[in-house]
Structures are given as C-alpha cells and as structure tokens.
Amino acid sequence: MEILVCVKRVPDTAENEFELNGAGNDLDRDDLVYSVNEWDNYAVEEAIQMVDKMGGSVTVVTVGDDESEEILRREMAMGANNGVLLSDDAFEGSDGKGIATILKAEIEKGSYDLILTGAQADEGAGQVGGMVAAMLDYPYASLVNKIDVMDDKKIKVGREIEGGNQEMNEISLPCVLSIQTGINEPRYVGIRGIRKVSSVEIPVKSASDLGLDAASVGSAGAKTRRVDYFVPDMGEGAEMLEGSTEEIIAKLIEKLKAKGGL
C-alpha cells in the first residue's frame, strides 16, 4: 500500500506561554518551541504499521518553510520512507483551501492508495483532509480511530463520534482519512534515530514544480483570512489564590468546604 501522510510543524502548546507581538497581528514567535502536530504523529504511526504488515511505502509531506524540513526528518526517523517539502513564497497566507490545493497537486503527481492527515492542527480547524478529498473526488472519513484493510479496494474504518462511540464505515480506495489521537501509540524517536536520517535528501517543490498558478494559493487565493490575534476579555476569570503554599491550601480548603468538596 502506498500511503501519503500530511504533516504540519506547529507551536507546541505544552511548551509555550503564548504572547502577542507588539502590533497584535501575530504571536510573538521569537522564542516559540515548535514540534510536529500531535495528531500527525498518530497518522504517521498508523501508516508505518500498515506498511509493516502489508508492504508498500510511507511518504510524509508538508507545506511550509525551510524550518519545516526538521519535522519531515523526525517522521522519517519514526520510519517513513520518503519526505517531500512543498515550499514557495507564493504559498504564504494560504487558507485551508490553499493548503489543500497545494497538497492535491502533489498527490496527483504520485499514485497513492491512502492519504492520511491529522484530525486537526494548531488552528483547530480540521479542514485540510476533507478539502483534499473533495478536490480529488475521493471518499473521506474524519476522526478515524480504527482501520481494517478488507482487500485492495476496500477498507473498514471506525470514526470516533460523541461520547466515545464509534461509527463503522466501509470505504473504497483510494481515500482520505483524518486520524484521531489514541488510534495507536506513536513510537518514541531518539536523537540517534534523527541522526540516521540527517543526510537523507528531501526534495523541495515550488508552485511551478507543482504546476500551480500562484494566484490560486497563498494570500492571493485565500477567501478566509486571519486579521489579528487577541486575548479575549472573558469577564473576571478565576479568583487566583496567592501566597505561601500553606496559605493557599488554607484558603482552598475553606472554599472546598463551602462548596461541598469536603
């Protein structure tokens, strides 16, 4: 099975305290720690396990800048066979459809049986996979937490729905699936693994390599645009308990008693 997995480099929510830049139109990105989108690691792990069982290959692809190469290498250290970086100044400011248009162009250059994305990335949109599928006229299922290959034309997938219930579907190949966390346990990647793939050549493709009209992607082609970032005014928020640990605990215990917590 030939599998393509779309991956994205994102700010790590566990490692950062987010601040806005002076102008308020972006995050202060100077000291941000980036990593692979959490959901994408599950997608890559799933692809690797499928290929281990059935043969074939896993390719990881990202739309990003030079720095995005590091995440392709990380996923190759996990076991992906190939990496492709789609990079061009013209891609900057793309909305979900722009990213999907770029990925579609790359997908059409290969012949993949299965395309995987993460269920969502840093923007919490969960849009790219469904858009790629619609553009290719491939079937799509989101939030997939189980894949059973039936034969080379059909797979059975479980989608995680509300309440943790699972919706089972039969889907014909080729198709696009967005992968939900928990479907597997992504393997650990050590420094040695990364070192092993550090000299592997990763092709970089531009808009013209992909045969894309620059006006159809990037900010030029974007119908949806981010105007600014801001910190919402959520009213009062929590009453913050301060002081020594003993003082904090004493105050907390009073409140817990009053609210029926003790």
Partner 1 sequence: MTQIYAYIPFKNGSAEDVALEYPAAAKKIDAAAMLTAVVTGSGAELDSVATEMSKIYEQVIKVDNQALAYPNAEVVRKALVNIIPKDAILLVAHTTFGMDIAPGLSVKMDAAYAADIVDFEGIEGTRLKMVRQELGGAVSTHVTADISAGAVITIRPGAFAPVDGGAANGTITDKSADAGDLASTRKFLEVVEAEVGDVDITKSDVLVSIGRGIEEQENIELAQELATAMNAVVSCSRPIVDAKWLEKSRQVGTSGQTVKPKVYMAMGISGSFQHLGGLKGNPFIVAVNKNPKAPIFQVADVGIVTDILEFMPELTEAISSL
Ligand X SMILES: Nc1ncnc2c1ncn2[C@@H]1O[C@H](COP(=O)(O)O)[C@@H](O)[C@H]1O
Q: Which of residues 134-173 bind ligand FAD (CB under 6 A)?
A: 143
Q: Which does 133 bind (CB under 5 to 8 A by kind): partner 1, ligand X, ligand FAD, none?
A: partner 1
How far is 81 from 59, CA to CA, in rounded Å? 6
Asked if residue 221 binds ligand X (CB under 6 A), the reply is: no
The answer to the question of residue 186 lying near ligand X (CB under 6 A) is no
CB of 193 to partner 1, least distance (A): 20
To which H or E segment does residue 72 belong?
helix 69-78
For residues 39 and 197, which CB has a smaller minimum distance to ligand X in the complex?
39
Three-point CA angle 194, 3, 113, nearest 5° = 175
With CB under 6 A as the rule, give the number of residues binding ligand X. 21
Cβ nearer to ligand FAD, comparing 143 with 212: 143
Angle between helices 38-54 and 69-78 (to 10 degrees): 40
The answer to whether 92 contacts partner 1 (rule: CB under 8 A) is: no
Distance CA 84, CA 243 (A): 52
User: 173 to 202, contacts with partner 1 by CB under 8 A?
Assistant: 175, 178, 181-182, 185
Residue 204 vs 248, nearer CB to partner 1: 248
CA dihedral 220, 94, 2, 180 (to 10 degrees): -150
78 close to 211: Cβ distance less than 8 angstroms: no
CA 139 to chain centre: 20
Identify which of residues 196 and 226 has a Cβ nearer to partner 1 in the complex.
Answer: 226
The item of partner 1, ligand FAD, ligand X, none sharing an interface with residue 231, based on CB under 5 to 8 Å by kind, is partner 1
First to last CA, the chain: 57
The one of ligand FAD, ligand X, partner 1, none whose footprint includes residue 37, by CB under 5 to 8 A per kind, is ligand X
> What is the bridge-based pairing of β-strands 154-160 and 9-11?
unpaired
Q: Rounded to the nearest whole angstrom, what is the least distance from the CB of residue 182 to ligand FAD in the complex?
A: 10
Question: Cα separation of 111 and 118, whole Å?
Answer: 20
Q: Token match 């395309």: residue? A: 115
Site string for partner 1, 11-40 (x = CB under 8 A): x-xx--xx-x------x-------------
The site partner of 259 among ligand FAD, partner 1, ligand X, none (C-beta below 5 to 8 Å per kind) is partner 1
Tokens representing residue 61 in the block: 């692809």
Nearer to ligand FAD, 37 or 101 (CB): 37
* 66, two tokens: 């030079």
Task: Say whether residue 63 binds partner 1 (CB under 8 A).
Answer: no
